[in-house]
Chain A
Amino acid sequence: MTSRRGARSEPASELELFPAAEPAPRIVEEPLPSYVGSATYPGETAEAAIAVSTLTETARDILEGAFIPIWVRGEITDFKAHRNGHWYFCLRDSAAQIRCVVWNRDQRRIPAPPDDGMLVAAFGRLTVYPARGEMQFTVVRIEAEGDGLRRKALEITRARLAADGLLAPERKRALPRFARTIAVVTSPDGAALHDIVAVVRRRRAQVRLVVVPAAVQGDSAPDELCYALDQINRWRGADLVIVSRGGGSREDMWAFNNERVARAVAACYAPTISAVGHEVDLSICDLVADYRAPTPSAAAEAATLSKTELEAELRRAAHRLRAALAAKFSADRDHLRHVARDLVSAAVRQTSVRRASLERVSGRLHALSPLATMARGYSVARGPDGRALTSVAQFTEDMPFDLVLRDGSLPAKAWPRSDPAS
């Protein structure tokens, strides 16, 4: 300490002008370990031998210090998904191999577990596993040749969704023809929302867009997309839901291949449109949604009717209404004409039928008429009740009655009866 103080205090004038920013390195003279004999560093002699763990730990420190995280290319062999949740495998080429591990917590950034024989590039850090005294490559990302892992992940997810019937065509619901409120699950600052709003405005569509913000890329995207869809299900205010993001790399759009996101889309109470990336990008979300739009703009087109289209709808309705009324009148007019004609002919028919029967009846009536008999000089006595009196027993003394003759009737009265014997 005395030497340091002396060294610093030497040029006093400089010290004031240029005060030292950092203290000078301190030289520590560690006492020699209590090695036996004449060893000057650990492990130099048998007596100074170091512990195995000291060796492996030192090797680990040196290795970890020497390598920054790097990509390593090789073939996967001996892959095992251990029941502790970690993945173990070897990465090798024709001449060498290295043991690898993917810790459980790092697996979510890897689309699917790799298969033996897959050619991959693995990103990680070289270290030493002291318990085995082996070098170990701790992997956090894996890219398979030909995008093999993503394809495998897609196949797995697709198969699981298909097994639950979520990809069945008969599940697809029709989009409402006149959606009033459309929930848009997307990034509030993204290109997708911008495109959707632009299309809706251009078409002067009469809708309310309600943005439900969610990250559409990155590690938090699946959770945020699921949460947004859950909010919509609890809100129940929309009659159509668009799930969308603009174009990007396959990795950027990976959240839309997430099984949980797909299931959340399938569970949505309202019909759904999926519009992820560009035309060529097909996501699992697209397969589950009721309608797949190739782009966000196309989603907006499919979701809304333009003002022009609405006006055309109105014109069609007006035309149909007038036509229906006109048809009603003409139908009624025709009907009336028919009825009138039928009525006339029915009346005519009825009249002639009746005339014929009348003639028939009157002929019979005439034949049976007592008038004909009376014309021959007979007369009929009728009581006050109009009944014909045909027996003397029907008469009482002084009883008035009518005597009907050929050309009229006379009031008459019964006289006391003379002796019938006379």
Chain B
Amino acid sequence: MATKRSGVLTFEQRLARLEQIASELDAENVDLAKALSLFEEGIDHLRSAAAELATAEATVQRLVERADGTFGVTDAD
């Protein structure tokens, strides 16, 4: 988890990871180097989440069931 910094995390996952990082920082047995790397990772998540928030828009779609039983969505707007 500690190395998972890719952009594919959801906002919720980022918040959860941030919470986890804060808890790890709270722990007694974290050395300073580790603490700093955790903090940097946290800052990364904060930046990505904020960027995501700035561009996000709600979308409205419609569920479509295909003949073979699979599903897709089409824009409903």
Contacts and interface: CB of A to CB of B under 8 A. Distances in A.
Contacts of B69: 234
B58 A210 contact: no
Nearest to B46: A318
A208 B71 contact: no
Residues of B in contact with A, size category: 35 or more
Nearest to B39: A325
Contacts, number: 109
Residues of A in contact with B, size category: 35 or more
A237 interface: yes
A177 B25 contact: no
A360 interface: no
A178 B16 CA distance: 11
B60 A211 contact: yes
A237 B73 CA distance: 10
A212 B60 CA distance: 11
A119 interface: no
Nearest to B43: A321
Given A314-B53, A320-B19, A327 B26 contact: yes
B65 A231 contact: yes
A327 B22 CA distance: 10
Contact of A212 (B21, B57, B59, B63): B63
Given A320-B22, A321-B22, A210 B10 contact: no
B69 to A, nearest CB: 7
Given A210-B62, A211-B63, A317-B15, A310 B25 contact: no
A313 interface: yes
A210 B73 contact: yes
A213 interface: yes
A234 B58 contact: no
Interface string B28-47: 00101001100100110010
B12 A200 contact: no
Main secondary structure of the interface of A (DSSP, over half): helix
A210 B12 contact: no
A378 to B, nearest CB: 63
B53 A324 contact: no
A310 B18 CA distance: 14
Contacts of B21: 321, 324
B62 A178 contact: no
B22 A208 contact: no
Given A188-B76, A237-B71, A310 B63 contact: no
Contacts of A210: 61-63, 73
A307 interface: yes
20 contacts: A178-B10, A180-B12, A188-B76, A197-B60, A204-B57, A204-B58, A209-B61, A210-B62, A235-B63, A235-B65, A237-B63, A311-B53, A314-B53, A317-B15, A318-B18, A321-B25, A324-B25, A327-B25, A328-B32, A329-B32
Interface of A: 176-178, 180, 183, 188, 197, 200-201, 204-213, 231-232, 234-235, 237, 307, 310-311, 313-314, 317-318, 320-321, 323-325, 327-329, 332
Given A183-B63, A231-B63, 14 more contacts: A177-B12, A180-B12, A200-B58, A206-B11, A206-B57, A211-B63, A213-B62, A231-B71, A232-B63, A237-B73, A314-B50, A321-B42, A324-B26, A328-B25
